[in-house]
Structure 1
Amino acid sequence: MPTPASFVPRHALAGLLILAGLLLQVLGFTDFVSVPHLVGYAFWLATLLLWRDIPQRTRLQAGVLAGLGLAMLLVTDLHYGESLQWAGILDGNTHVVAMLVGVSFIGLIGNRRDRSLGRSVTGLRGTAGTWLGVHLLGIILNLSTVFMIGDRLARNGTLSLPQLLALNRGLSSAALWSPFFASMGVVMTLAPGMTYSSVLAVGLPLALLAGAITLLDLSRRFDLAEVTGFSLSPRSLMMPSAMAMLVLLFHYWLTPGLTIVSIITFLLPAVALASNLVQGPRWTFARTRRHALERLPAMRGEISLFLCAGLFTLGLSSLIDAATGGEWTLFAEFGAAQGVISFLVIVASAIAGLHPIIGVSVLASMLDLKGSEQTLFAFVALGAWAVGTAAGPLSGINLSLQGRYGISGYRMMRHNLGYAAVMAGLVSMGILALDIAL
């Protein structure tokens, strides 16, 4: 395979370290190999190699989180005399990062320019197709779906504001229920006792309502008659549906001892590699090598943010436990009222420019969740993530839209504030309903 013109040895080494972190994580699922802390070391070393290439705003947030987390750990150790396992302080959120890396291998399945992806249509039907296409494909393919569909729509000219808003809201609302999203990975790590079926029962209807609200809002504010949209083909839904069924098969029958996050981490890369092996080992090796050297280093922003948030959460929770003797929590109990307050604060912080993972991580570090409270917390976190990433000017999707299609993140925020307000009300009602059901 020829060396690309933009080949950077530092990036290549970081990509191989990220791949090594994924492999070590998968090996850790077996009973034969024990690799404590090596996963975190691999991911963090890769992050350090890529640090200078991380976007400035993300680097600032990640750096502040890591610095504060380390400072709080030092205070916990030196001032309060609490014994800490320093060898494992880099383990925070490594499960989530490994899942994100695993999900990225879906890009090796098929050809993104496959004509079976869908066709263009106009009007309200087309806009509905854009939202639905991004939502359904995005539950598996995540942010890459926005570019797949956005680039196809951009063939007819610069993307219009209604098109961009449909892309934004279609993907962000999938965080309410998709088991393949980073948001779900985070909450499953912070609240391992959550019941996914309960979250799904509330999150999926809310996601569908988000689509209806988007269509109502865009048709009222814009003339959609000439706005090009997207229409899914039945074939394009086969892969996401098959992946979801495979995950459920492993979760309930083949590997019931593993969490959904763990299953996704090894299953998606395995399926991606198997789909390439029909073309031969050399073809598979070439595509995997390119993915490791180019795609994985490009994930530096999200990887650094999740790792640094994990260190911050560990530092904050350790300091709180040391200072209070492990007896203080933000709320004595976590019910509907506390959930709504927490949700609104996290969304407000996202609109102010903080990634929702920061608010979610801080909240988790100050709670002592018991029983069904973990499920309620999970839905609060997912709702805040879905609404916060849609409206937050510095969220991953808005920064990606800005970089790819030239739309300001702050302009997206202004046009999403009304949508965020309506969704905030619906999510708050969902929190109340879920609390009653639990």
Structure 2
Amino acid sequence: MAGALLLLGLVAQIAGFAGVSLLPHLVGYALWLATALLWRDIPRRTRWQAGALAGIGLGLLVIAQLRYDAAIEWPAILDGNTYVVAMLLGVSFIGLIGNRSGSTRPLGRAITGIRGTAGTWLGVHLLGTILNLSTVFMIGDRLARRAPLTTPQLLALNRGLSSAALWSPFFASMGVVMTLAPSMQYTQVLAAGLPLALIAGLLTTLELSRRFDLSETAGFSLSPRSLLMPVIMAALVMLFHYRLTPTLSIVSIITFLLPAVALVSNLPSGPRWTLHRVRQHTLVRLPAMRGEVALFLSAGLLTLGLSNLIAAATGSEWTLFAHFGAGQAIISFLAIVASAVVGLHPIIGVSVLASMLDLAPDRQTLFAFTALASWAVGTSVGPLSGINLSLQGRYGISGYRMMRHNLGYAAVMTALVVVAIMVLEAYSDTR
């Protein structure tokens, strides 16, 4: 039932893009009800964190109405971050693109040494831009067939995926940022984020080769066939965004395009086979995303509660910063990364920050890059981030051990992000 509700939420969201409203707030209600049904199966740490976020957000809404007589649209309070959750659900359907047996195609042969470690980072980074966290498991499981994963392999997996948050339009981080800063200029974010991500890959390769003996460390080698699907998907997204559906955001396009491509790729095997795969995906894969869904929905409720309380208490006139420039962006970045180190997911810091700012359109690109950079660095080093919890659950390495190994990397990346923020601000001032 929970899987069916998640699928219903996704379908209702896609229908909304075409102007078809099945029921008011149906997306939020379906996603929250599914989360409630799956609540006991959510990992305990995630459950406590999501519960605290939702409880605080709801409490803030109550205070805003009772203490400040704020007009709260209660039927709509569950709508926060539903766009992002729908995108995550849509992206998951990429797993249906495969052969008739549903098995994963070989991604390339494993190699060793520095070249192998660089290949692991690059493979996770490039494929992860679209496939997200599932790429870590695809490549990690392949490497684990030879021997249990070592620390440098796990660090390459961690950093390869987390650094993709700097620029990938398919990442949940980009979905959140585009929702919070709709006037952001993606090309400027790409121009700053992509070089920074490539530097992160070079830094990872050089650091791991210095700290560890990689001569026997198995790595991953990309083949042109492995890159074909991500490149095609990225091209399709750009085609829809700039030509076919220019009024839709990239988040919206990804939400409907990836499930559509997955269905089309299965139809040659017959409608019955296609329905079978969708049913299996609905019953298995969608409920397995319960932790992500719960966290994003709860963070959306927290953001709504905090923004309503601040608006009610200050008459919508108070903001954290009177002007959001390079200095304010750097302070915000450092604060969000620090909160990630103590266990908070960067989405919380980003959402709270957005609720306390009144961003002019020309400031939204700087905010967007700051949020994406804090997400990329924060998830790599945060012991309770989704990537580190996943590595812990799948391969048995402690999230706090990953944090210790990533502290030096995070420090260097922090310095680079500070420079990038100042460059981006200077570029904005010259326009």
Whether TM-score is above 0.5 comes out as yes
Please state whether the residue corresponding to 1:331 is helix, strand or coil.
coil
> AA paired with 1:203?
G
Give the structure 2 partner of residue 39 of structure 1: 27
TM-score normalised by structure 2 residue count = 0.98
Query: How many angstroms apart in 1 are the aligned matches of 2:186 and 2:279?
Result: 35
Match of 2:36 among 48, 51, 55: 48
Between the aligned partners of 1:114 and 1:62, the Cα distance in structure 2 is: 32
Q: Deviations over 1:140-161 (max 9, x none)?
A: 0000000100011011110011
Tell me, yes or no, if structure 1 residue 372 matches structure 2 residue 362.
yes
Give the gaps of 5 or more residues in structure 1: 1-12
Query: In the alignment, which residue of structure 1 is the partner of 2:318?
Result: 328
- Could you tell me whether the CA contact under 8 Å between 1:343 and 1:383 is conserved in 2? yes
1:436 to 422, 426, 430: 426
Correspondent of 2:62 among 74, 86, 89: 74
Q: TM-score, normalised by structure 1?
A: 0.96
Q: CA–CA distance in 2 between the matches of 1:357 and 1:248? A: 26
CA distance in 2 between counterparts of 1:34 and 1:56 reads 34
What is the alpha-carbon distance in structure 2 between the residues aligned to residue 33 and residue 382 of structure 1? Answer: 32
Change (3 A) 1:115 1:296: closer
Equivalent residues, number: 426
Q: Report if aligned partners of 1:178, 1:184 keep a CA contact under 8 Å in 2.
A: yes
Q: Which amino acid aligns with 1:269?
A: P
- Once the two structures are TM-superposed, the CA of residue 205 in structure 1 deviates from its matched residue by 0.2
Matched, 1:203 2:180: no
Q: Report the equivalent of 2:252.
A: 262
Q: 2:389 aligns with which of 399, 416, 419?
A: 399
> Deviation of residue 98 (structure 1)?
0.2
- Residue aligned with 1:90, SS: helix
Structure 1 residue 212 displacement after superposition: 0.3
Alignment pair present for 1:148 and 2:138 = yes
Amino acid at match of 1:223: D
In structure 2, the partner of 1:101 is 89
1:437 Cα deviation from its structure 2 partner = 1.1
1:218 to 208, 211, 221: 208
2:183 aligns with one of 190, 193, 196: 193
C-alpha separation in 2, matches of 1:378 and 1:236: 30
What code does the residue aligned with 1:375 have? Answer: T
Distance 2:236 2:175 in 1: 17
Q: Secondary structure at the match of 2:336?
A: helix
* Aligned twin of 1:288: 278
Of the structure 1 ranges 160-169 and 30-39, higher mean CA displacement relative to structure 2 is found in 30-39
Matched residue type, 2:313: A
- Aligned Cα root-mean-square deviation (Å): 0.9
Q: Is this contact kept in 2: 1:247–1:264, CA < 8 A?
A: yes
CA distance in 2, matches of 1:354, 1:80: 29
Moved over 3 A (4+): 32-35, 111-116
Matched, 1:423 2:417: no
Deviation of 1:172 after TM superposition, in Å, equals 0.4
For 1:111-139, what per-residue CA distance to the aligned partner results, in whole angstroms no more than 9, with x for missing partners?
Answer: 57545411110100011100000000000
Q: Secondary structure at the match of 1:79?
A: helix
Contact 1:123 1:229 in 2 (8 A): yes
How far has the Cα of 1:371 moved from its partner?
1.6
Q: In the alignment, is the contact (CA less than 8 A) between 1:116 and 1:235 conserved in 2?
A: no
2:98–2:105 Cα contact (<8 Å) kept: no
Partner letter of residue 298 of structure 1?
A
1:170-190 deviations in Å (ceiling 9; x for gaps)? 000000000000000000001
Partner of 1:24: 12
Which residue does the alignment assign to 1:8?
A: none
Q: 2:17 corresponds to which letter in structure 1?
A: F
Q: 2:398 aligns with which of 402, 408, 416?
A: 408
Alignment match, 1:277: 267
Amino acid at match of 2:348: I
Matched, 1:344 2:338: no
Deviation by residue 1:169-225 (Cα, 9 ceiling, x = unmatched):
000000000000000000000111111111000000000000000011001100111
Q: Within 2, Cα distance between the matches of 1:150 and 1:137?
A: 13
Distance 1:31 1:86 in 2: 23
Residues 408-427 of structure 1 show CA distances to partners (whole Å, capped at 9, x for unaligned) of 10100000000000001111
Provide the residue aligned with 1:298 in structure 2.
288
Q: Aligned partners of 1:32, 1:367: CA distance in 2, in Å? A: 33
Closer/same/farther in 2, CA of residues 120 and 191 from structure 1, 3 Å limit: same
What is the Cα deviation at residue 382 of structure 1? 0.3
Q: In 1, Cα distance between the equivalents of 2:154 and 2:66?
A: 50
1:58 — aligned with what?
Answer: 46
Task: Spell out the pairing of 1:148-187 with structure 2 (5 A cutoff).
Answer: 148-187=138-177
Structure 1 counterpart of 2:406, which letter?
N
Corresponding residue SS for 2:241: helix
One-letter amino acid matched to 1:211: G
Give the structure 1 partner of residue 376 of structure 2.
386
Deviation at 1:166, TM superposition (A): 0.4
Counterpart-to-counterpart distance in 1, 2:74 and 2:287: 27
Q: Are the equivalent residues in 2 in contact too, given 1:28–1:35 (CA < 8 A)?
A: no
| CA positional deviation for 1:84 | 1.3
- Asked if the contact 2:12/2:22 (under 8 Å) is kept, the reply is no
**d(CA) in 2 for partners of 1:371, 1:407:** 43
CA distance in 2, matches of 1:60, 1:114: 34
